[in-house]
Amino acid sequence: MMNEVVKGLGFYLPRLVGSIVIFIIGIWLIKHLQKMVEKLILKSKLDESLYGFVISSAGIALKLTLVITIASMMGIPMTTFVTILGAASLAIGFALKDSLANIAGGLLILSFHPFTIGDFIEVNGSMGTVKEIQLLFTSFNTPDNRRVYIPNSDMINSKVINFLKRVRGELILFSVPATRMTLKRLKKKLWMWL
């Protein structure tokens, strides 16, 4: 019995120590890689609203890669790992369906740009200047200096008024001197403009 424990320790202990070392080095590398990604994004001509999204997505992808690497070092067969990951993803998907809706909303906002950082918008009776578009929420500062956080699924499913994006040609201004123009001539002029 003692022989089996010693053999097990001899087999798993180096893997465990190696996995802990890889985990520590991996977390350190991920922090530095995220800083590098942040610097690259700031230098690029990427839309300002994508900054937080790209940085958080890069962090998630790097951490997932680290977990898969450590699992394979520990000797977990990849088929088992993928099966467990699939079942966990399904369970997490059901548990976090609202968060997943917020992520989808964030992707739609970043794709179609109904508003960007710096725009003055109104949503659900709140209005303010957009400060952040994150994966799960959008935040803006109100004129009375409050920060409002609205989930992205609400942003996509609600009426959003963007006061900085105006459509040209919606308003025709004209003046009519009432004493000089008859109603018939006024109609004729209006039809010419339309």
How many C-beta atoms surround the C-beta of residue 115 within 10 A?
23
Distances (CA, A) of 186 to 170, 175, 178, 190: 20, 11, 10, 6
Rounded to an integer, the average pLDDT of 4-23 is 79
What are the domain boundaries of the chain? 2-95, 109-162
Q: Tell me what pLDDT residue 171 has.
A: 46
Q: pLDDT of 66-95, one tens digit each?
A: 988 888 888 777 787 778 878 888 888 788
d(CA 121, CA 127): 5
CATH code linked to domain 2-95: 1.10.287
Q: pLDDT of 103-129, one tens digit each?
A: 888 888 877 888 888 899 999 888 899
Q: Is the per-residue pLDDT at 149 higher than 90? A: yes
Coil, helix or strand at residue 96: coil
Q: What is the amino acid identity at position 154?
A: D
Closest CA to 151 of 123, 128, 127: 123
Residue of 139 and 180 predicted with greater confidence:
139
Q: Tell me what pLDDT residue 87 has.
A: 87
Closest CA to 56 of 76, 78, 74, 41: 41
Closest CA to 153 of 99, 82, 191: 99
Which of 51-55, 56-60, 151-155 shows the lowest mean pLDDT across its residues? 51-55
Q: Is the per-residue pLDDT at 173 higher than 50? A: no
Q: pLDDT of 177-186, one tens digit each?
A: 555 555 666 6
d(CA 84, CA 134): 29
Mean pLDDT, the chain, rounded, equals 79
CA atoms within 13 A on the CB side of 51: 17
pTM over 0.75: no
* Topology of the domain comprising 109-162: SH3 type barrels. (2.30.30)
